[in-house]
Structure 1
């Protein structure tokens, strides 16, 4: 039982600071400021579900896909860092207008927005995917199939707990809009975009630094 608890805590504690649902909540509010409360709540639920599916896929299938396509983890970090840099740069310059553009294109709730950019890269970015793949690659070999299945269930519970945390933070962060107002939300969005830009560059540099000695 203690090993199951440790697996659950390892997955949850390993992913929580990188997914950072508390820090992402103001940015989620800014990007959905033009939505109705019902649409925002629906998006929060879909982002939580998408996040869970992405993390589950990365943990249990990600390492096999990388081997199949001959892709290394540093390359994943570099590609993910580029995506995060591009999104952060665009958000830094457009602010709240980014949501207005997607709303005008879709003419409605824009269900597709729940995946990009709200799930990827805002909530589950390249760092989260890399950690999930790394955790999934550390499969125990000395356990019986039944014990491995139980440990996998504990890891799955950790991912679902992260997804639930994302939903709670996004769903109940709405009162911030009334306190901050449009200008306050816009400031938070731009500050968060700058942090995302820095994180993208850091992930990109980490991937390059890891890949460079291998290339040589």
Structure 2
């Protein structure tokens, strides 16, 4: 996937980079099927209230990871190039697991929702973390934050575009969870696995793209430090 026509220094470029990655790892449609099973004993108003709260919390988790993750790692001396390579590897490895064995991911998510079936205050834990936006989503968001431009004037458009992508993913979580029964009837388990593999492949491509930009950054720094 080539993002060069729309650099990440532009708002649209940042959005088009961040939205597919966050949508792929969160997978609101696939997660809605498991949410429907886990919330089967709850009333419709309860499920709608939970869906709205989960969407809001998911936005806060993704936004915090996007805005702060890269800077926190930089504080500990991790360069942008190294952060991009490491983040891209995490994204690619995560995507490879989702691509090759989506059933294992489904089983893990089902286990994460077990405690939500008998408790009332479950919107943040476990239904937001780790079910909807767990370590995988946070690591992807941090990897995306490593793509921020180094120029001061371009940083704000990047974070605005990435934040809009996080907001749209959160809205889709809210809508898909609210309509989880209809999503279940429309897709079913087989359709959800096909969708999971498609978005996992997209996420793998994005991970490779992040690695490539990190390698390019590191090579450029090496050539500057060792001219000739």
TM bin (shorter chain): 0.5 to 0.7
Does the 8 Å CA contact 1:48/1:167 hold for their aligned counterparts?
A: yes
Q: 1:118 Cα deviation (Å)?
A: 6.0
CA distance in 2, matches of 1:190, 1:69: 35
Q: 1:86 Cα deviation (Å)?
A: 1.4
Alignment correspondent of 1:53: 64
Alignment correspondent of 1:212: 219
Secondary structure of the 1:108 match is helix
CA distance in 2, matches of 1:55, 1:23: 11
2:185 corresponds to 1:178: yes
Describe the shift of the 1:11–1:185 C-alpha distance in structure 2 as closer, same or farther (beyond 3 A).
same
CA distance in 2, matches of 1:118, 1:194: 15
Describe the shift of the 1:93–1:161 C-alpha distance in structure 2 as closer, same or farther (beyond 3 A).
closer
- CA shift digits 1:44-78 (9 cap, x unpaired): 332211112122325xx72x752x43322111110
Secondary structure of the 2:34 match is coil
Correspondent of 1:95 among 95, 102, 124: 102
CA distance in 1, matches of 2:210, 2:95: 13
Secondary structure of the 2:134 match is coil
Alignment of 1:10-25 (within 5 A): 12-20=11-19, 24=23
- CA shift digits 1:20-57 (9 cap, x unpaired): 16982782221452223635554333221111212232
Q: Please, which runs of 5 or more residues in structure 1 have no aligned partner? A: 1-9, 141-150
Describe the shift of the 1:21–1:178 C-alpha distance in structure 2 as closer, same or farther (beyond 3 A).
farther
CA distance in 1, matches of 2:101, 2:202: 15
Describe the shift of the 1:11–1:96 C-alpha distance in structure 2 as closer, same or farther (beyond 3 A).
farther
Alignment of 1:65-84 (within 5 A): 66=74, 68-84=75-91
CA RMSD of aligned residues (A): 3.5
Does the 8 Å CA contact 1:47/1:119 hold for their aligned counterparts?
A: no
Secondary structure of the 1:20 match is helix
Alignment correspondent of 2:169: 166
Figure out how many residues of one structure are paired with residues of the other and give that number: 187
2:86 corresponds to 1:86: no
Alignment of 1:105-124 (within 5 A): 107-109=114-116, 110-111=126-127, 112-113=129-130, 114-117=132-135, 119-121=137-139, 124=141
Q: Please, which runs of 5 or more residues in structure 2 have no aligned partner? A: 1-8, 40-46, 117-125, 224-228
Correspondent of 1:129 among 145, 150, 154: 145
TM-score under structure 1 length normalisation: 0.68
